[in-house]
Amino acid sequence: MLHIQENISLKAYNSFGIDVKANYFAEIFSEADLQTLFENEITQLQKLLIIGGGSNVLFTQDYEGLVIKISIKGIESIANGENILVTAGAGEVWNDFVNYCVEHGFAGVENLSLIPGTVGASPIQNIGAYGVELKDVFESCTAFEIKTGKIRTFNFSDCHFGYRESTFKGELKGQYIITTVTFRLASQPNINTSYGAIETELQNRGIEKPNIADVSAAVSHIRVSKLPDPSTIGNAGSFFKNPVIEKYEFADVVAKHPDVVHYPTPDDRIKLAAGWLIEQCGWKGKVVGQTGTWKNQALVLVNHGNATGKEVYNFSAQIIDSVKSTFGVTLEREVNIL
């Protein structure tokens, strides 16, 4: 039974643990719940915010509108030759979904272990880590069209994936609510250990021929060693995108900073490591008031207790200014600011 609540604290619904309130709040467990919700006049009178795990948002004030939390669950799989099509409800916790795939021998998402958030958010953000992006395993998704109440299927070409971008963050922002995502995974894995510290971690474990469970465990260990647990200290994972710049811009950076950490991109540009840039500017582990950067990873901003969203935002602005001044590179926030 759909229940719309009023004047609800969102502290438990955002991984930063920012204590703000929403005028209205509704939790959705099925597409039928969405149909019912959008027949209510509240949805016509209020601005809307769709959340999953609340792991990619920073609230800087109370939300004057209706917050809709998507909690649609369920995972199903169908064999399709050497491929496995796996469909998951948008409310499934992303890492629970990854663990399900690893346990069943479905290869393709093991490098994305321990990314916070839900399945429904994964194509919106085109999440990625350790050499793999969501678009590499995406088959399709279904989404509720807010204007018409109809369910539409989006294929790969419909989504216009880019670096941490998709059509759901661009031209169709605010028009659809994702309800399920289907992934094209493999029964025969193509193990990817070339990015980051995965190979080193596998060597430390004495593993020469890793399987997908080994890769998932290695990635999880690396992430836990670098990133704070949101259940113990508020954070939203990586706060900034890794900047992607043109080669001529990179020439200027590397001339002044020969040791700059960088990676080539498929479109012949250069990706810089935002965490490295921030650390070089002296921000790693810094505490300012109730906020700061994580001691093991400068890319992560944290709430040390009772930080406000504005405090965190202002702190991030200082970091952006510092990196720009030092490297001539402008960092972009990955977290959505509200």
- Show which residues are catalytic: 164, 238, 334
String of DSSP letters for 142-205? EEEETTT--EEEEEHHHH--BTTB-TTTTTTTTTEEEEEEEEEEESS------STTHHHHHHHT
How far is 91 from 265, CA to CA, in rounded Å?
32
Locate tokens 């997908």: which residue?
A: 212
Retrieve residue 251's tokens: 């020439």
Neighbours of 214 (CB within 10 A): 19
Are 253 and 260 in contact by the 8 Å Cβ rule? The answer is yes
Answer positive or negative: Cα dihedral of 53, 58, 111, 120. Answer: positive
Coil, strand or helix: which one is 184?
strand
Name residue, tokens 């609540």: 5
Phi/psi of residue 189, nearest 5 degrees: -70, 150
Q: How far apart are CA 146 and CA 173, in angstroms?
A: 11
